[in-house]
Structure 1
Amino acid sequence: MTVIASNSAALRAQNGSRLANDALNTAMARLSSGNRINSAADDAAGLAISNSMTSQINGMNQAISNANNGISLAQTADGALSEVTNNLQRIRELAVQSASGTYSDDDRANMQTEVTELQKQIADAMKTQFNGVNLFSTSDQAINIQTGADATDQVALKITGLDMSAVTGTVATGTAAAGLGTALAAGDSRIGTDHVITAEDVAYGAQFTGSGSSPAAVDSSAIGSTVTLKAGDQMYEAATTAGTVTGGVDISTAAGATAALDTLDQAIASVNTTRASLGAGESRLNSVVNSLTNNVTNLTDAKSRISDADFSVETTNLAKAQILNQAATAMLAQANQSQQGVLKLLQ
């Protein structure tokens, strides 16, 4: 039947051209972006899975960075304790030297001078921080490292408590003005030593037990005399600056040096325990990094198979769509031309 009111061939050619054009646009979008899924319409389920994997991959990459920071923290703490160990070993060496009867009091005083400086350095090491986080405390502490994409993925980097006060004593952190010192408490290393009363003692109201049962104030007549210090005595103390050490290991006498050996052995053992806890945590974090790196690699491969464009396939689809688009355009022209034959019937 010959008709001119409708042209089914042209409609079919138009539809074929539309489909070919859609396929051409899809292939070009995938080739230009490198992604198989450029919108939810391309693959709704695949898009959801791909986004979920992206969240996991991004979280794991950050977790790797977190774990590496945790390793750096552990290494910083261990480095500080390595130097503390060196200082403790040197103090112990000096204590063994001082305990020998072949040295004079002057020799021991010189040894104590070095010990005092090492005590200050140990006290400074105990203040070590990592990005503002205090690393050492007298009690156990745990620093939580986020090592995964989920809230529960955490590793607690444990640092056992470390108290060096038995070795270092109290290290002054500020400047104290000259004046009357506090009463000597039991155990103070100055108890039992001789003290020559000075004019400053009299001026500031120093009190000494002497031969009595309780401390009593001294007057100017006592200037130059010697007293043996006892618990409760108070004397003039010159201005002190940061770093002044009171208490702790004292090897200025043979007896003190001998007593210091046990204290130093305990301190070295404590440092070893803390370093062991840091080493264990560092080893675990290294394992976490290895595991996360493998997971990121595998998840990235899986995501690629879902969302990345296969260029060999898409270039084939592009060529096919171009040919179909050109053919549909040609057929549309032929369909529109086919009705011109009706004119001949009217001649």
Structure 2
Amino acid sequence: MALNIISNYAANLAHRNLLASDASATRSLAKLSSGTRVVSARDDAASMAIGARLNATAQALKTATVNVGQANSMLQIADGGMATIDDILVRMKTLAVQASSGNLSDTERGFLNDEFTQLRDEIDRISSSTNFNGIQLLGDGGDVSVNYANLNSAGLAEDLSPANGFDSIGITDNNYWATDANNNGVTDNQFKLHFVKVGNTVMLNVFTTIDGATDREQSIDVTDFATGGTRALTAGEKTTVNFDELGLTFDLNHNISTIIANAITLGSDGAGADGYATAQVIGGGATVGDNSTVQMLADNGQKLSDNISFQIGAGNTSNDRLAISFQSVDSSALGSGATGTEDGLDDLGANAISTAANAQNAVEVVTRAIDDLQRARANVGTYQNRLDFAGQNLATMLENVEEARSTLLDLDVAAEMTNFTSKQILVQSGVAMLAQANQMPQNLLRLLQG
């Protein structure tokens, strides 16, 4: 090879090889530091594409596994609530059987009936309040309240004011007032209140309207609250009147004593507390109770869904979802039988076991209610077992998907370390040879000096 001053072919060649060796060593170092065989598409475009899809599937399967766990937790909460209701039903049947016996008087049956109806209310409370993250599991979660915007104003309910003895109104049975069979909201659920005089007795009557139709009526004797009565209220005193059959309570203040006294003094039989000939409330109004009509606010509670769909797969097909159906276990559903046509617990009314005949009928209804509850629990148990198998399948799929992704993308560290060592040696050799190549032009100086 000719010696020349302008070009140094050997140095250029050594430099090019050094750059290539350094680039290879850098890529090898990147793989070792990241732990993956495919750092970029240049390494293996096909493997990167497949691996990306497998990685997305693996992450989705992990989330689906969490969903299965949450679904099982939801069902466990539902089963726990139904287990408590089962205990209540056993107690209710015990009470019904006891009340069916002829050795009891009506007084003892009354005691048993009080507990029976209270337990029925507790079933409704449990079914209404049992939820998972706001999702109802055992029945509608009605959250109904009195429309206070209509109270103490012109028109509706203007007579139900503190000046007339009414401090506040409470709802004790959400399930009853949340009824909305015609799916137009609960604003057509109302009640109206008035006093009626019968002899020297004053009755406080309340009529309820559900879905626009008159539904229930309950009367309470309030004569003793009149001024001079045994239960008359003084300034600052309050009392609560509970209309348990209607799911309502009224907090009364001392002004009610004057209203009742006026009804006794001024009213005639069938007249209202204001002395009018018709049974009106304290103030005026052309129709009985039109100045004491109270509407319910729209139901803001959660409804029991027919089914809830859980995503238990990584795809978007019907096979990747599981729809779990839930059955209502409140007092209106329990006892209605498999066909839903029999009388339920709520159809027993307020005097469910107050007589031997009623108690004997209640025994049958409670027995059906227990069977209805067991069907609902069996339904939950079936889905729990199915979810367990779905979870096992997800775990197996996740294991295999991650293995496939590992085969494509994970780095064989031992093999790559061997490759990196080789590249390092080439880099070091390249640096040494480039230094030697740069020394070759020094031979020209000897020629020039000669």
Amino acid of the structure 2 residue aligned with 1:316: T
Displacement of 1:111 after TM fit? 1.1
Deviations 1:235-289 (A, max 9, x none): xxxxxxxxx9981671111111111111111111111111111111111111111
Give TM-score, length-normalised by structure 2: 0.57
Mean CA deviation greater in 330-339 or 134-143: 134-143
Displacement of 1:62 after TM fit? 0.8
Deviations 1:15-70 (A, max 9, x none): 22111101211122122222222222222222111211111111111111111111
Distance 2:24 2:396 in 1: 37
Give TM-score, length-normalised by structure 1: 0.73
Amino acid of the structure 1 residue aligned with 2:135: V
**Taking structure 1 as reference, are residues 320 and 166 closer, same or farther at Cα in structure 2, changes over 3 Å only?**
closer
Instruction: Please show how residues 97-108 of structure 1 align to structure 2 within 5 Å.
Output: 97-108=98-109
Displacement of 1:125 after TM fit? 1.5
Amino acid of the structure 2 residue aligned with 1:2: A
Q: Is the 8 A contact 2:136 2:305 kept in 1?
A: no
Displacement of 1:161 after TM fit? 4.4
Instruction: Please show how residues 53-64 of structure 1 align to structure 2 within 5 Å.
Output: 53-64=54-65
Q: Is the 8 A contact 1:168 1:245 kept in 2?
A: no
Larger RCO: 1 or 2 (CA < 8 Å, sep 6+): 1
Task: State the secondary structure of the residue aligned to 2:440.
Answer: helix
Mean CA deviation greater in 331-340 or 79-88: 331-340
Distance 1:286 1:249 in 2: 45
Unaligned runs of 5+ in 1: 170-186, 188-243
Q: Is the 8 A contact 1:123 1:168 kept in 2?
A: no
Task: State the secondary structure of the residue aligned to 2:441.
Answer: helix
Amino acid of the structure 2 residue aligned with 1:94: L
Aligned length: 274
**Partner residue, 2:310:** 145
The answer to whether 1:285 aligns with 2:286 is no
**Partner residue, 1:33:** 34
Distance 1:266 1:103 in 2: 25
Q: Is the 8 A contact 2:334 2:368 kept in 1?
A: no
Task: State the secondary structure of the residue aligned to 2:325.
Answer: strand
**Taking structure 1 as reference, are residues 36 and 249 closer, same or farther at Cα in structure 2, changes over 3 Å only?**
farther
Q: Is the 8 A contact 2:109 2:354 kept in 1?
A: yes
Unaligned runs of 5+ in 2: 141-303, 337-342
Deviations 1:94-115 (A, max 9, x none): 1111111122222211111211
**Partner residue, 2:192:** none
**Partner residue, 2:3:** 3
Displacement of 1:313 after TM fit? 1.8
Mean CA deviation greater in 269-278 or 6-15: 6-15
**Partner residue, 1:193:** none
The answer to whether 1:262 aligns with 2:263 is no
**Taking structure 1 as reference, are residues 332 and 167 closer, same or farther at Cα in structure 2, changes over 3 Å only?**
closer
Q: Is the 8 A contact 1:24 1:318 kept in 2?
A: yes
The answer to whether 1:305 aligns with 2:306 is no
Distance 2:377 2:325 in 1: 10
Q: In the alignment, which of 305, 326, 330 is matched to residue 159 of structure 1?
A: 326
Mean CA deviation greater in 321-330 or 135-144: 135-144
Q: Is the 8 A contact 1:64 1:289 kept in 2?
A: yes
Distance 1:292 1:248 in 2: 51
Displacement of 1:343 after TM fit? 3.7
**Partner residue, 1:335:** 437
**Partner residue, 2:355:** 253
Task: State the secondary structure of the residue aligned to 1:252.
Answer: coil
Deviations 1:311-346 (A, max 9, x none): 212221221111110001111122222333334444
Distance 1:140 1:341 in 2: 94
Identity %: 35
Instruction: Please show how residues 181-220 of structure 1 align to structure 2 within 5 Å.
Output: none
Distance 1:79 1:105 in 2: 36
Q: Is the 8 A contact 2:109 2:353 kept in 1?
A: yes
Task: State the secondary structure of the residue aligned to 1:165.
Answer: coil
Q: Is the 8 A contact 1:23 1:317 kept in 2?
A: no
**Taking structure 1 as reference, are residues 249 and 61 closer, same or farther at Cα in structure 2, changes over 3 Å only?**
farther
**Partner residue, 1:320:** 422
Displacement of 1:163 after TM fit? 5.1
Amino acid of the structure 2 residue aligned with 1:136: L
Q: Is the 8 A contact 2:332 2:347 kept in 1?
A: no
**Partner residue, 1:221:** none
Deviations 1:281-312 (A, max 9, x none): 11111111111112112211221222222221
Amino acid of the structure 2 residue aligned with 1:302: A
CA RMSD of aligned residues (A): 2.5
Distance 1:164 1:332 in 2: 93
Distance 1:266 1:3 in 2: 111
**Partner residue, 1:14:** 15
Q: Is the 8 A contact 2:124 2:330 kept in 1?
A: no
**Partner residue, 1:178:** none
Distance 1:167 1:60 in 2: 39
